Structures are given as structure tokens and as C-alpha cells.
Amino acid sequence: MKKILLAFIVLSALLSLSSAAAQPFSLSNGLKVVLNPDKTSGIIALQVFVRAGSAWETPADSGTASLAIRMITRGTKTRTAEELAAASEGLGVSISAASGEDHSIISLVCTAKTFPEASAILFDMLLNPVFPESELSKLKKVAISRLKAEKDDNFSYTLQRLKSQMFRGDSYGLNPLGTEENISAATSAKMADFYTKNFKAGNICVSVSGSFDNSEMFSSLEKGLSGIPSGGGARKLQSTIEAVTENYGSDKMKKNQAVVMTGFFAPELASADYAALKVLSSVLGGGMSSKLFSSLREKEGLAYSIGTIYPSRAKACAFIFYAGTRKENIERIKQGILEAAASAGKPGYITEKELEDAKNLLVGQFRLDHQTNEDRARYLGWFELNGAGFGYDAAYPETVKAVTLEAVSKAAVKYLVQPKTFVLDNE
């Protein structure tokens, strides 16, 4: 048994470097499926991407997706939450559900051997959820505790505060966990409404990576998921960023560390400027050789964690500089970040060599981030559902390599304007 299992492991890596073999299919109800077989790993990772998350919510119903998607795993017409957990965990697998901004994901990772049984449990959850009040009442308490615990994570807390400041009036400003008021008001009926509204074939993409044969996997998905109603899919997220928002905000808390974050409005994943900004983020704040790391950490010793984030989003989002520091260094960090942002587009600030290194880093990290079947399924579904198409996964390395210094400088000049800063200060 063990030898066979380990043989799987050796071979699994053979095809691990790309998802170039991925192919799209449509189930009879129109549900999009992307299959990426490697046939040798012995593992199957299946991810159900649903176009639902806080970006689709309003202040009055924020947090609904987060609760509802978790409730999917908490009871079906024929099984209780306890029975569902016992069934999947008895196979040694877990089915997890989580929601973010643009989408929610229900994820299954199992061995090829357990896939028939494990996927049957997943399909039951996806088709027959009943949202029991008793389970909802438990999850509501957990959700409220999560909201309170956000204050215990300086980085997430500051990021959420910056986003709510930058995206006032836009759904990206909402907390994906919702508000205490919204969570308390959630009912089983609201969860069921969410399900009826969002679980339509056109709002869902299922990506699968691992040891299977395409035709067998297709039949299995057709059998399991064709019962999801057709429709949906026409929706697109609208950006409603207010032209004037506050440029500066801060909170004082009893903490040892201070956090500085400065954000700029930046375009969505499907934008022509996306790749250039990814490269810019790599130059300025990617890895240990980035400009911010070497100036503010290596040379001045001002921060331990420092860098930039530019997430891949379905609508206009933010390019963010961050640094964890101490009260006495806040001003110097703020100034250092603004200097880097203001200089980024100037001739000579980024050299050809730095650009080349940053592109290599970006492509290299991308490859290294595709080593497990779960990673590969996640990238395919993410790109497919959020506007770039699953094929972007295979095209990404070449797209990044083609980015020129001129394009990066232009993107810096165009987007790194009107900085918005939020500081978590110490009392």
C-alpha cells in the first residue's frame, strides 16, 4: 500500500509545472468545467467556484455569502451536518467552504480511490442543502467571534480599514465577514434565498486537477451536477468607487507594533495594464530583493514585514504598499513608501536588470505556486470565473515576459497617484 502511494508522489510532480493540458467542457445545464488531468499523482483536487462573495453584496446584506457558503456543508435533505462530516472524514478527506470578495469556493481534495464516494458527498451538498436553523445559530456565533478576532491580527485589521476607507460606497469596502448586525439578522430563509439566487450553472465554474481521465470525470460531473438549474452568468461586477475619498486615516490601539498601508486605485485582472502592474509590484515589493525590502528593511532596518500587494480581482481594486513597524518609525515609513511610489515611473528608477529579475521572480513564483493539484485547480477556476479565462494560466508566463520597462513606467505614472494611507498606531 505504502509503496504504491509513494510511487504516486514521485510521478505527480512530472506534470506539475503547468496547466497547459487543461481543457474546458460544458455540462448539459451550461455549467463550465475545466479539467486538468495528470493521471499519475493519485490525488484529485476539485474546486467549485461560485460567483458570489462580498463584492456582490451591499452594506445591508454583507456577510451573507460567507455564512451561506459554509452552511452548504451543514445539512442536506437526507443527511445532518454531523452525518456529512462523519462520511467525508471517514474517508480521510475534508470538504471545505470559504468565501472572499469576488467568489466563494467549495473545495475537495481526495485520493483518486476515494473520489467516487467523496464527490458523491460534495454533490449532495451542492444540490440538496437545507440550511438548518440549529447549524446556522452555531455558525453565526463563530462568525461574530471571527469579526472580534480580526482586531488580533494587525495586518488583516489594517488592510480591512484601508479598504473601507478607499472603497467607501463600493462593495470592495465591505468586510467579507459582514457586520455583527447583519450576522445576527441572518435566517435560514435568507440562506436558502442566497442559494437559489446564486447556485445557477452560469454562475459556477468547476475546476478539477489530478489523476483522472477526462471522459470519466466529465460523466461523473454531468451525473452529479447537471441538476443545478441553468441560467445566471450574465452578471458583471460594477465598480462604484467614489472620486473623492479620504486620503488618510488611523486607529490607535494598545499594540506593540504599528502598521502602515498606502493604497492606490488599480485595474482589474482583465485589464490590459494588469501584467505591467504585477511586474511593478514584483519590482517594488516582491521578495527579499525588492526595492522596498532593500531600502527600508536592509538599509534602514525599519521593518520586518514589508512589501506590496496587487490582488487579481474581477473589478477595479487596489495596489497596496505595507509595512509593519513601530510608532517612532511611522513617519519615515510613510515617507519611504510615498517616495518609492512617486519615483516608480521616473526614467532610470527601475533598471532593465531590475525589471528582468522582477519578471523572473514573478514567473518563478507562479510556477512554484502550481506544484499541488489543489493549486492548479485554484488558478484555473480563479482566472476562469474572474474575467481572464482559464487559458490565462498557461499564457501568464509569456505575458509577463513580454512586459516592457516602458509599460511598467507608464502604469506607475497612471496608477500610483492620489495615495490613500491608513495607519494602525499605538496608544
Partner 1 sequence: MNISNKIIGVAVAGVMLLAGSSLLAAQDFVKNTEAGKNGVTKFVLRSGATVLAKEIPNGLVSFQVWYRTGSRDEQDNNNGISHFIEHLIFKGSAASGVSGLSRLIEGRGGNLNGATSKDFTNFHFETAKEYFYVSLDGMMDCLSHPAFDAGEIEKERKVVIEEIVRGDDDPGRKLYEELFKLSYSGHPYRREVIGTKDVLEKLTRAEITAYYKAKYSPDRMIIAVAGDFKFAELLPALEKHFPPEEGKPLTEGLRMKASFTPGREELSGSYGQGYYGSAWLGPAADNADTYAMDLLVTLLGSGRSSRLYSRLKEKEQLCYALDTGYSTMRDEGLIYVTAELLPDNRGMFDKRLLEELKEICSNGVDAKDFARALAILENSYIFSHETDSQIAGDLGYNEAIISYKFGQDYLDNVRKVNAADLKRVAVKYLSGVPASVCLIPAGK
Name residues contacting partner 1, limited to 276-315 (CB under 8 A). Answer: 286-289, 294, 297-305
Which residue type does 344 have?
A
Q: In the window 115-174, what residues touch partner 1 (CB under 8 A)?
A: 138, 141-142, 145-146, 148-154
Smallest separation (angstroms) from partner 1 to the CB of 401: 11
**Got the DSSP string for 307-318?**
EEE----SS-EE
State in angstroms the smallest separation of the CB of 142 from partner 1. 5
Nearer to partner 1, 2 or 77 (CB): 2
| Cβ–Cβ under 8 Å, residues 337 and 307 | no
Is the CB of 225 or the CB of 361 nearer to partner 1?
A: 361
**Site for partner 1 contains 16 (CB under 8 A):** yes
Beta strand spans in 176-257 (E): 204-210, 248-253
Q: Which of 234, 260, 282 is nearest to 328 (CA)?
A: 260
CA-CA distance, 412 to 344, in Å (whole number)? Answer: 6
Q: Which three cell numbers stand for residue 54?
A: 462580498
| List of residues 6+ apart from 233 with CB closer than 8 A | 30, 51, 200, 201, 202, 203
**236 vs 352, which CB is nearer to partner 1?**
352
Q: Shortest distance, CB of residue 355 to partner 1, whole angstroms?
A: 11
Say whether residue 402 binds partner 1 (CB under 8 A): no
Figure out which of the listed residues 339, 356, 398, 406 binds partner 1, where binding follows CB under 8 A. 356
Calpha distance 14→370 (Å, rounded): 12
- Subset of residues 312 to 351 that bind partner 1, contact rule: CB under 8 A: 324-326
Cβ neighbours for 243, distance < 8 A, ≥ 6 positions apart: none
Task: Based on the shown chain and the rule CB under 8 A, indicate whether residue 365 belongs to the binding site for partner 1.
Answer: yes
Q: Confirm or reject binding of residue 92 to partner 1 (CB under 8 A).
A: yes
Residues numbered 43-72 forming contacts with partner 1, rule: CB under 8 A: 43
Q: Is 219 in the site for partner 1 (CB under 8 A)?
A: no
Q: How many residues bind partner 1 (CB under 8 A)?
A: 77
Determine, following the binding rule CB under 8 A, whether residue 184 of this chain makes contact with partner 1: no
To partner 1, the closest distance from the beta carbon of 283 in angstroms equals: 11
398 binds partner 1 (CB under 8 A): no
Residue 352 in the binding site for partner 1 (CB under 8 A):
no
Query: What is the C-alpha to C-alpha distance for residues 96 and 108, in angstroms, rounded to an integer?
Result: 7
Q: What is the Cα–Cα distance from 97 to 66, expressed in whole angstroms?
A: 9
Among 25, 357, 391, 425, interactor with partner 1 by CB under 8 A? 357
Q: Is 89 in the site for partner 1 (CB under 8 A)?
A: yes
Q: How far is the CB of 371 from partner 1 (least distance, A)?
A: 4
181 binds partner 1 (CB under 8 A): no
CA 19 – CA 6 distance, rounded (Å): 23
50, 109, 205, 269: which one binds partner 1 (CB under 8 A): 109
- Say how far apart CA 240 and CA 59 lie, in whole Å: 13
Report the C-alpha gap between 198 and 308 in whole angstroms: 33
Distance separating alpha carbons of residues 366 and 133, to the nearest angstrom: 42
Report, in Å, the least distance between residue 298 CB and partner 1: 6
